[in-house]
Structure 1
């Protein structure tokens, strides 16, 4: 289960930030090896305060482990041919890091594994970065004799769409019935630098497809927009930004908003701090009543969706109906110049050989 991760305690914040800013796949920086530690050191006190404000750390590891355990139990029933199943967590920037997970898998004697991204929509900066790191560990001999396949995107899977839609409906129910249809649904996703967007990264398209699928399930009951959050640094990022959208809606006289995390499946700092404490506070100051659709966390519908996705993948790969990777994963961004990306895709296409 591949994800960005987050510091489980405030004390882990600096290491998390350093790992994050060192990753050129996520945040391309000039002189990255020099600038990244400086930026991490400068930002640590501010981000530590944010983790303090949400309870002393990120709950993403707790939720990912819970999701994995319940998914594995369902998989034992859905696809007994490959049972027993065990879920491992491999975070990119916080513990357990990929190298820790590799050691655990080696100790367990794992011979068959699925790299299952926990980002519903694919980006080279998120899923791609995690797969690049897994590839580097494999090439270094840290995960020997493992047959790999990849679940690289699933942002329009019916179970995922249903789980998000149910949470939107619960949030909408908090508004008076008489004005409920006037409520604006504001889907918010982590933004990307325009340098990544402009090289052909599919993330914007895939997030948009997720939003369209959820709105179809909701029968287009409300007006909606897709906006972007978590911009870092002075360079151009995909917009418009969530905070600016809320100000604009207030100026247009909109008084009711549901904030919907569409690219985050578990609560972490982007939902618990940015959406709940920062943006919601700003919205209320502008006269908007705002409620957030819950993250998927321990949703049984969502966990069943994860199991269904994995079971279908295992069936297709085991029976030869599909290869180790999807057709879409094989296509590099038209503007890609990252040699590791091409090597990684070829490696996984050969089953990690």
Structure 2
């Protein structure tokens, strides 16, 4: 028994396959808010502002106290790291059972704007002696501003150092129409529909809400809007209920025009139309954070809905640790490990109006990074 435990401990210390979970991240304490906002507002991958080197820090500084207050109202910090670690632990446990040949699997978190930062994560990955690394975006729908920014950070890291030849890399950069993703959103919607009187349940308006995007990015050809819409369509197809639904957009930042209709404006407009029973579904978020816990729950469902005369509004929970969602994560990764592709042709294709040399060089970097050996060498089938 002691030998078995010792062997288990030794194996656990030497993971074979890394699942690197990419996300924006969120400040765990209010003391991190200022630096967090500064990184976002000065990152041209995330948001492009005129005279960004001056305007970005000014916006970040001006918003810091307000955003600190919001984090205090949801418990003093973002729970996104807690949820990501929980999801990662459950994911790798499932993968160990599904794919013992590539086990042990270990999850790593690579946040863009708060610790654990990308550089720290990939340094640790190398120290752990990983043989295979799957870069796995936790944004199901791809955008140059979110997944693209995280991938650019990885490319930046390896431009400063030699790429480890003993690690075989691949990536999952989008998974918007996975059937289990649609199924978990369906279950989350059903949970909230049960809270409405049965006589009006089929008439409740389902409002799918996602983080908005600057129109400049939409016009360039960013795939995010149609991938979000694809998730909505897949969810409604799975739901198989007669409820009306719409896709709306939240969390606009800065002075430039963004994708509309905005979620708050839509709530007010629907109330004026007589639509007084609503469900908000955060369709592009896989765990709770400030956009769900404060913007949706407090600003919209509590304050705005009351002012607008909404009779009943519910907010569907994010996937979080729902068993179907963990099954979705595991299925996405297992199929990728078994069948690839190492890097998708969709990722390697640029937007039609892209003129960014940074984007071009980043895609070329990942094309080379993920083709260091043949697909057959990369699978454990």
Question: Does TM, normalized by the shorter one, top 0.5?
Answer: yes
Question: Does the 8 Å CA contact 2:92/2:105 hold for their aligned counterparts?
Answer: yes
Question: Does the 8 Å CA contact 1:186/1:259 hold for their aligned counterparts?
Answer: yes
Unaligned runs of 5+ in 1: none
- When Rg is computed on C-alpha atoms for both structures, the one with the higher figure is 2
Measured in 2, the distance between the counterparts of 1:164 and 1:143 equals 38
Measured in 1, the distance between the counterparts of 2:291 and 2:181 equals 19
The equivalent residue for 1:330 is 348
Listed as ranges, the matches of 1:287-326 within 5 Å are: 287-288=309-310, 289-317=312-340, 322=341, 324-326=342-344
Give the drift of 1:206: 0.3
The equivalent residue for 1:244 is 265
**1:64-112, Cα deviation, whole Å (9 max, x unpaired):** 0000011011111112221111000000111111111122112212232
Listed as ranges, the matches of 1:232-271 within 5 Å are: 232-271=253-292
The equivalent residue for 1:226 is 247
Give the drift of 1:177: 0.4
The equivalent residue for 2:66 is 46
Instruction: Report runs of 4+ in structure 1 exceeding 6 Å deviation.
Output: none
Listed as ranges, the matches of 1:54-203 within 5 Å are: 54-141=74-161, 144-145=164-165, 146-203=167-224
The equivalent residue for 1:11 is 31
Measured in 2, the distance between the counterparts of 1:94 and 1:142 equals 25
Give the drift of 1:326: 1.0
* TM-score, length-scaled by structure 2: 0.89
* 3-state secondary structure, aligned to 1:265: coil
Supply the RMSD in Å over aligned alpha carbons. Answer: 1.2
**1:194-252, Cα deviation, whole Å (9 max, x unpaired):** 01100000000000000001011111420010000000112100000000000010000
Q: CA, structure 1 residues 142+92, in 2 after alignment: closer, same or farther (shift >3 Å)?
A: farther
Give the drift of 1:143: 5.6
Question: Does the 8 Å CA contact 2:211/2:250 hold for their aligned counterparts?
Answer: yes
Measured in 2, the distance between the counterparts of 1:54 and 1:41 equals 21
Residue range with higher mean Cα deviation, 143-152 or 80-89: 143-152
| 1:284 to 2:306 alignment | yes
Measured in 2, the distance between the counterparts of 1:51 and 1:242 equals 21
Measured in 2, the distance between the counterparts of 1:142 and 1:50 equals 42
How many pairs are equivalent? 348
**1:253-311, Cα deviation, whole Å (9 max, x unpaired):** 01100000000011000000000000112112222110000111111110111011000
